[in-house]
Chains A and B, each alone.
Chain A
Amino acid sequence: MTTAARILPVSALILFSVSQATAQTATSHIVSAANSFLATLDGKQRQAVLFAFDDEQQRKRWSNLPTGIVARAGLSIKDMSDTQRNAAMALVASALSARGFEKVQQIMEGDEVNRINEANGGGRGRGRGPGGRGGGGLLFGKDLYYISILGTPSEKNPWLLQFGGHHLALNITIEGERGILTPTLTGAQPALYTENGKVVRPLAGESDKAMALLNALDESQRKQAILGFRLADLVLGPGQDGKTIQPEGLKASGMNDKQRAILLDTISEWANIVHESAAASRMAELKGDINETWFAWSGPTTVAPGSNITAYYRIQGPHLVIEYAPQTLGGDPALHVHTMYRDPTNDYGRKAAAK
């Protein structure tokens, strides 16, 4: 069964629920999906899923690492029945755009590739569970993703939906009609695989559009954009909440309209993960900031056809930090990527919480 085939039942469920209430706003639809999911759970499972909105520990309990290495809280897909699993994925899908949900599915499917490879005896690291070395616990697989809800699903009061596991951490704050997707980590390993003969690159847009932007710059602009030092990993990854680093590289005020359009298109790969109406207002905000937005690049300036870039890049503006960081980790950096998406002024919807 392909990723698309697995998405269909979930999509059908969403379309059905949407058709039942055509007047529903995006938020009421998400709240409805959240309540439907919660209704499938028993008391113990509900307890595992629900947290207080201001639970700082749970907010920060996300990572790029596999769940067997960094434990997550909430309820994992593997501990759900088929009905619960469909309801959980319908909830995630309701908060995301179609492409955003597809990206999430592809990241999870990439981890399934790791699981299969591990099961077949490949991989450098043997499966180790949290219990210790050689415990045989699972490190990889699409079932090892966790869902949690901070606060009470509401159309008015802010609440937070978390979904994540290896190479994925979605933190979606719902505040009225707003959907705030920061901080969110996406990643992929393998960042290129085939499924039923079709090549899948979960982060293709992130790679290709940034490459297009670099290629659209003239020599003088490239000199500003390309940093003369190596960046081995994310600077503002997990555990670095609330920090804003000094921007570097080429400021978009020094770009022409076409270059700025490519920059915005690159940003949209993250901003458009969230559902369409929230993405539209976020993109409007980021477009307004565009002349104060910086683009910096470190590493190789070419890419093999059909592959991912092996360079680090960062896009930073007053309300935005995006990092794309290929990982060497003993392998091909084109096949292992970490990315980070933040709003230093509003991670976890803190503006709403402050109100």
Chain B
Amino acid sequence: MRIALAAGILLVAGTPAFGHRLDEYLQGTLISVEKNSLHAEMTLTPGVAVFPFLISSIDTDADGAISQEEQAAYARSVLRDLSLSIDGQRLTPRLRSLRFPTIGEMKEGRGEIHLDVDADLPAGGRNRNIQLENRHQSKISAYQVNCLIPRDLAIHIAVQHRNYSQSLYRLEYADTDVRADSPLSAFWSGGLGWLGAIALVLCLRALFLWRQRAGRPGPLPENQTFAATLD
């Protein structure tokens, strides 16, 4: 019966691809924002075809198993390839926990590496801007970055921006518990604070020099110098 059934089925589809991730390293990141911290859940799934290129950077002693040291070292290498900032101020991502599949699971395209990452957020203005750039294995990776709906009702997501590959992600949100930004505080929290500080120092320096010169006898015209000498 099954053979007859099978014979009745004609394929329009071509050769079926294997039912799991194949030729990409899928890196999904879900970001949750709280008042003073940011949490990122990273799920990294190597495809079957790219796994051979990746394994040497994970199983560094090539013994066919991923030791705890190798797991931690690989997680650190992922974190090194991330650039995370808020309002233009660089943040230091901290690894909170990690979970690795077996090499066998990864070979079959079903192995997911889970990294939980935290970062402290410095105090800032009402409107904030988080940026995440992921350069990890960029030649073979597909990235997906999303923000979870905040648990804190005072935090309102405004907009998410991404480049086409989602390797670059920017999140704009408002913390409504912080009073409305004045133009000055918006300037400072908008990532221009350092530029502003430098500009302010330069202005003060220029003012100081100008005052110094104003208080000192200036260079005189040739004839006056001569007259003074005669005095």
Contacts and interface: CB of A to CB of B under 8 A. Distances in A.
Interface string A223-237: 000001111110100
Contacts of A230: 142, 164-166
B6 interface: yes
Given A235-B146, A329-B20, A229 B8 contact: no
Interface residues of A, number: 58
Interface in A286-303: none
Interface string B123-158: 000000000000000000010101111000000010
B146 to A, nearest CB: 4
A40 to B, nearest CB: 21
Contacts of A1: 1, 4-5, 8
A125 interface: yes
B132 to A, nearest CB: 14
A230 B16 CA distance: 23
What secondary structure prevails in chain A residues at the interface with B?
A: loop
Main secondary structure of the interface of B (DSSP, over half): loop
Given A229-B164, A229-B166, A246 B148 contact: yes
Nearest to A118: B16
B23 A330 contact: yes
Interface in B5-38: 5-6, 8-24, 26, 28, 30
A113 B9 contact: yes
A114 B16 contact: yes
Most central of B4, B26, B30 by chain A CB within 10 Å: B30
A166 B18 CA distance: 11
B102 to A, nearest CB: 12
A69 B16 contact: no
Interface stretch (A91-99, A169-177, A190-198, A268-276): A190-198
A351 interface: no
Contact of A245 (B12, B22, B149): B149
Contact of A244 (B9, B148, B164): B148
A253 to B, nearest CB: 18
Given A246-B157, A330-B22, A330-B49, A132 B12 contact: no
Interface stretch (A52-60, A254-262, A331-339): A331-339
Contacts of A167: 19
A244 B149 contact: yes
The size class of the interface chain B forms with chain A is 35 or more
Contacts of B11: 113, 116-117, 190, 193-194
Contact of A65 (B5, B14, B110): B110
Interface in A204-253: 228-233, 235, 239-240, 243-246, 248
A118 to B, nearest CB: 8
18 contacts: A1-B8, A65-B19, A69-B19, A113-B11, A116-B11, A124-B16, A189-B19, A190-B11, A190-B16, A191-B13, A230-B165, A232-B24, A239-B112, A245-B30, A245-B148, A329-B17, A331-B14, A335-B16
Interface of A: 1-2, 63-66, 69-70, 109, 112-114, 116-118, 122-125, 128, 132-133, 139-140, 166-167, 189-197, 199, 228-233, 235, 239-240, 243-246, 248, 327-332, 335-336
Given A167-B19, A232-B144, A246-B160, 10 more contacts: A69-B110, A112-B6, A112-B9, A194-B12, A232-B142, A233-B26, A240-B30, A246-B146, A331-B15, A335-B14
Question: What 10 A-B pairs have minimum CB-CB distances, sorted nearest first?
Answer: A190-B13, A125-B18, A232-B142, A331-B17, A229-B162, A245-B146, A329-B17, A329-B22, A330-B22, A246-B147
